[in-house]
């Protein structure tokens, strides 16, 4: 076996000088940072009530969630009986989940320079409360994906409920939210595309105004937006979220 000789002190100084000169020879490229180069976004867990578990790719619990921890893209989480969670997202928005809910963080990226965000969260079952009420002047949006539709907003407070049959009820309390259906049959197709030719009637999209709701059926069709009454909507989950929003001044 060939034994390498130690580098002399003089040679080491020369190598160090060459490395430093090469790293500063093009300062423009060294300082240039793209969005893709920035660290992936995170969601900080600010409140835990009851039990919630981080899941593996097969949906099996890995370990319980701990307040103060940060979670990232690809993390799938399930809440237990009487559990509630609250997360602070990188753009300052808050999202909360009730008991018996399963969700996944798809993308949590938000940058200051340039001011951009790409936040997408998949709600597979249960309830979510999204408070993105702070004005946002940058590019991008906050998106919530449900089994048969995709919603996005730049500034709103909204509530999502995914039922056991994959139908979804969406309510907007403040601001505006856009929602459109996913490509028919795409969720069940290995290729991610519809197995049948698409027609104009297969597509729909709506802008949901404050105090309006929309019901997305399990077959992917949806009602037109319709109003809901505040008193009829009030329950323990809503009151709890309103109290949490008041604590953070939103």
**In the chain, where the domains are located:** 38-247
What integer pLDDT is reported at residue 36 of this predicted model?
Answer: 35
Residues with Cβ within 8 Å of residue 216, at least 6 apart in sequence: 146, 148, 149, 167, 168, 169, 170, 179, 181, 222
Beta bridge partners of 96: 86, 129
Question: Strand pairing partners for 162?
Answer: 126, 168
Residue 140 backbone zone (phi > 0: left; psi -120 to 50: alpha; other: beta): left
Tokens of 25: 């020879």
Report yes or no: 114 and 38 within 8 Å, Cβ to Cβ. Answer: no
CATH says 38-247 is which class? mainly beta
Residue 222: which of 161, 168, 165, 184 has the closest Cα? 168
Q: What is the Cα–Cα distance from 15 to 6, expressed in whole angstroms?
A: 14
Residue-level pLDDT at 4? 37
Q: Which residues of 5-34 are buried (b: 16+ CB within 10 A; e: fewer)?
A: eeeeeeeeeeeeeeeeeeeeeeeeeeeeee
- Cα separation, 94 vs 245, in Å, equals 9
Which pLDDT value is given to residue 34? Answer: 32
In the block, which residue shows the tokens 């109290």? 243
Region for residue 82 given its phi and psi (left: phi exceeds 0; alpha: psi -120 to 50; beta: otherwise): left
Instruction: Specify the pLDDT at position 113.
Output: 77
At residue 184, the pLDDT reads 60
Residue 166 per-residue DSSP state: S
What is the pTM (predicted TM-score) of this model? Answer: 0.78
Cβ atoms of 146 and 125 closer than 8 Å = no
149 close to 123: Cβ distance less than 8 angstroms: no
pLDDT in tens, the chain (250 residues): 433 344 444 444 333 333 333 333 333 333 332 333 334 689 999 999 999 999 999 999 999 999 999 999 999 999 999 999 999 999 999 999 999 999 999 999 988 777 889 999 999 999 999 999 988 778 889 999 999 999 999 999 999 999 999 999 999 999 999 999 987 655 554 444 555 566 666 789 999 999 999 999 999 999 999 999 988 788 999 999 999 999 988 7
pLDDT at res. 95: 98
């Amino acid at each position: 076996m060939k034994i390498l000789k130690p580098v002399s002190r003089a040679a080491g100084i020369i190598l160090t000088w060459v490395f430093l000169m090469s790293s500063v020879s093009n300062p423009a490229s060294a300082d240039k940072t793209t969005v893709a180069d920035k660290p992936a976004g995170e969601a900080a867990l600010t409140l835990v009530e009851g039990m919630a578990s981080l899941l593996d790719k097969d949906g099996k619990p890995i370990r319980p969630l701990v307040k103060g921890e940060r979670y990232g893209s690809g993390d799938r989480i399930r809440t237990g009986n009487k559990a509630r969670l609250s997360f602070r997202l990188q753009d300052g928005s808050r999202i909360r989940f009730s008991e018996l809910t399963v969700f996944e963080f798809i993308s949590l990226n938000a940058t200051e320079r340039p001011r951009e965000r790409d936040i997408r969260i998949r709600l597979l079952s249960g309830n979510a409360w999204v408070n993105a009420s702070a004005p946002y002047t940058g590019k991008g949006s906050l998106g919530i994906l449900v089994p048969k539709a995709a919603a996005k907003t730049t500034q709103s407070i909204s509530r999502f409920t995914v039922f056991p049959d994959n139908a979804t009820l969406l309510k907007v309390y403040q601001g505006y939210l856009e929602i459109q259906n996913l490509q028919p049959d795409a969720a069940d197709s290995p290729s991610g595309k519809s197995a049948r030719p698409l027609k104009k009637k297969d597509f729909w999209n709506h802008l949901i105004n404050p105090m309006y709701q929309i019901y997305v059926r399990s077959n992917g069709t949806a009602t037109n937006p319709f109003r809901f009454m505040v008193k009829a909507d009030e329950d323990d989950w809503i009151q709890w979220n309103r109290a949490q929003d008041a604590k953070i001044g939103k």
